[in-house]
A and B are shown apart, each in its own frame.
Chain A
Amino acid sequence: MRFLLEAPVDGDLDEITAAARAAHANGVDGVLIRRSRWSPDPLVVVAAVAARVAEIRIAAEIELGEQHPFEVAENVAVTDLTTGGRLILVVRPAGALGDYAEALDLLRTALTPRPFRFEGARWRVPANLPENEFGQERLVRLTPAPAQPSVPVWGTGAGRGPALERGLGHLADEDDPADELGAAHARAASSLGPAAIGAPRARRETLGDGPEALVARLLAGREQFGQDWAVVAGGGDEAAVIGRQVRPRVQLEHLHPSLVALWEPDAG
Chain B
Amino acid sequence: MTTVSAERDASVLSRMGLGLWTVRSMAQWPRHAVGGFSELVDDALLAEELGFHSIWSAEHRMWYDGWCPSPLLALAHVAGATRRLRLGTAVLLASQHDPISLARTAATLDRVSGGRLDLGIGLGHRDVEFDALGLRRDRRGRMMDRALELMPRVWGGEYGDAPPIQAPGPALWMGGMAPRVLERAVAGNYNLLLPQTLSAGRIGALIEDIRARGWSATAGVMRDLWIEDDPARVEEMRRRLERGFTEEAGWWVLQGHPAFDAPELLARQLHRVSDAALIGSADDVAAGLRALLEAGVGFLCLRINIDIADHAELREQMHRVAGQLPPRLAGALVTSGARG
- Inter-chain contacts of A137 with B (CB < 8 A): 128, 131
Chain A positions within 8 Å of B258 at CB level: 134
Task: From known contacts A50-B77, A68-B134, A82-B74, infer whether A39 and B127 are also in contact, taking CB-CB under 8 Å.
Answer: no
Q: Assess the A44–B161 pair: CB atoms within 8 A.
A: no
For residue A131, which residue of chain B has the nearest CB?
B136
Taking the closest CB of chain B, its distance from the CB of A163, in whole angstroms, is 22
Q: Is the CB of B109 within 8 A of A132?
A: no
In the complex, what residues of A have CB within 8 A of residue B160's CB?
Answer: 37
Q: Is B182 among interface residues, defined by CB-CB distance under 8 A?
A: no
B132 CB–A CB distance under 8 Å: yes
When the two chains form their complex, are residues A78 and B134 in contact, meaning their CB atoms are under 8 A apart? no
Is A143's CB under 8 angstroms from B62's CB?
A: yes
Contacts of A79 in B (CB 8 A): 70, 73
Q: Give the shortest distance, in Å, between A62 (CB) and chain B (any CB).
A: 10
Chain A, residue nearest B65 (CB):
A143
Interface string of A49-93 (1 = CB under 8 A from B): 111100000000000001110110011011101101100000000
Interface size class of chain A, counting residues whose CB lies under 8 Å from the partner chain? 35 or more
Quick check: A131 and B80 within 8 Å, CB to CB?
Answer: no
Please tell me if the beta carbons of B131 and A127 are within 8 angstroms of each other in the complex.
yes
Measured CA separation A135–B135 after assembly (Å): 11
Task: Report A82 CB to chain B, min CB distance, Å.
Answer: 4
Q: In the assembled complex, which residues on chain A have CB atoms less than 8 Å from the CB atom of B38?
A: 84
Stretch of A118-126, A194-202, A239-247, A248-256 with 4 or more beta carbons under 8 angstroms from chain B: A118-126
Q: Is the CB of B79 within 8 A of A48?
A: yes
Residues of B within 8 A of A37 (CB): 160-162
Q: Which of B99-107, B196-204, B301-309 contacts A (4 or more CB under 8 A)?
A: B99-107
The docked-state distance in angstroms from the alpha carbon of A123 to that of B131 is: 11
Q: B112 is contacted by which of A13, A85, A128, A141 (Cβ under 8 Å)? A: A13
Q: Does residue B37 face the partner (Cβ distance < 8 Å to A)?
A: yes
**B27 to chain A: closest CB distance in Å?**
14
A41 and B104 contact, CB distance less than 8 A: yes
A132 touches B62 (CB 8 A): no
Tell me if B78 counts as interface (CB < 8 A to partner A).
yes
Q: Is there contact, CB below 8 Å, between A135 and B105?
A: no
Please indicate the chain A residues that have their CB under 8 angstroms from the CB of B41 in the complex: 51
Q: Would you list which residues of chain A between 9 and 31 have a CB under 8 Å from chain B? A: 12-13, 17
In-complex Cβ contact of B131 among A47, A74, A81, A135 (8 A): A135
Q: Are B73 and A43 in contact (CB under 8 A)?
A: yes
A144 within 8 A of B: yes
Minimal beta-carbon separation of B68 from chain A (angstroms)? 6
Give every chain A residue within 8 A of B257 (Cβ-Cβ).
134
Q: How far is the CA of A33 from the CA of B136 in the complex (A)?
A: 34
Q: What separation, in Å, do the CA atoms of A133 and B256 have in the docked complex?
A: 9
Q: How far does the Cβ of A86 sit from chain B's closest Cβ, in whole Å?
A: 10
CB-based contact A143/B64 at 8 Å? yes
Q: How far is the CA of A219 from the CA of B137 in the complex (A)?
A: 56
Given contacts A39-B111, A144-B66, contact A129 B131 (CB under 8 A): yes
Pick the contact of B136: A38, A84, A132 (CB < 8 A).
A132
Chain B residue numbers with a CB within 8 Å of A78 are 68-70, 73-74
Give the contacting residue for B133; candidates A12, A13, A38, A71; CB below 8 A. Answer: A71
Closest to B60 in A: A143
In angstroms, Cα B69 to Cα A68, docked, is 14
Q: Does A164 contact B (CB under 8 A)?
A: no
Contact across chains for B128 and A143 when beta carbons are under 8 A apart: no
A17 to B41, CA, bound (A): 17
- CB-CB contacts below 8 Å: B169-202 with A: none
Tell yes or no: A101 within 8 A of B by CB: no
Residues of B within 8 A of A147 (CB): 33-34
A45 within 8 A of B: yes
Knowing A41-B101, A81-B37 are in contact, say whether A125-B132 is a contact too (CB < 8 A): yes
Contact yes or no, B34 A127, CB < 8 A? no
| Contact indicator A81/B34 (Cβ below 8 Å) | yes
Measured between beta carbons, the chain A residues less than 8 angstroms from B253 are 134
CB-based contact B132/A134 at 8 Å? no
Residue of A nearest to B136 (CB): A131
Which residues on B sit within 8 Å (CB–CB) of A67? 98, 101
Minimal beta-carbon separation of A29 from chain B (angstroms)? 20
* A135 contacts across to B, CB distance below 8 A: 126-132, 137
Inter-subunit contact B104/A126 (CB<8 Å): no
Give the distance to chain B from A252, nearest Cβ to Cβ, in Å.
Answer: 34
Bound-complex Cα distance A86 to B78 (A) = 17
Chain A residues whose CB sits within 8 angstroms of the CB of B77 once the complex forms: 47-48, 50-51, 82
Contact across chains for B128 and A134 when beta carbons are under 8 A apart? yes
Q: Given A41-B108, A82-B73, A142-B62, is A126 in contact with B132 using a C-beta cutoff of 8 Å?
A: yes
Residues of A within 8 A of B (CB): 12-13, 17, 37-52, 66-68, 70-71, 74-75, 77-79, 81-82, 84-85, 123-129, 131-137, 140-145, 147
Sorted from nearest, which 9 A-B pairs have the closest CB atoms?
A144-B66, A51-B80, A135-B131, A135-B127, A48-B80, A40-B104, A47-B76, A82-B77, A134-B127
A to B CB contacts below 8 Å, 15 in the list: A13-B112, A39-B112, A41-B104, A52-B81, A71-B97, A77-B70, A81-B37, A82-B76, A129-B134, A135-B129, A136-B131, A142-B61, A143-B65, A143-B69, A144-B25
Q: Told that A40-B108, A50-B77 touch, could you supply 14 new A-B pairs with CB distance under 8 A? A: A13-B112, A40-B104, A41-B104, A41-B108, A43-B105, A44-B72, A44-B73, A45-B112, A48-B76, A74-B61, A133-B256, A134-B126, A143-B62, A147-B33
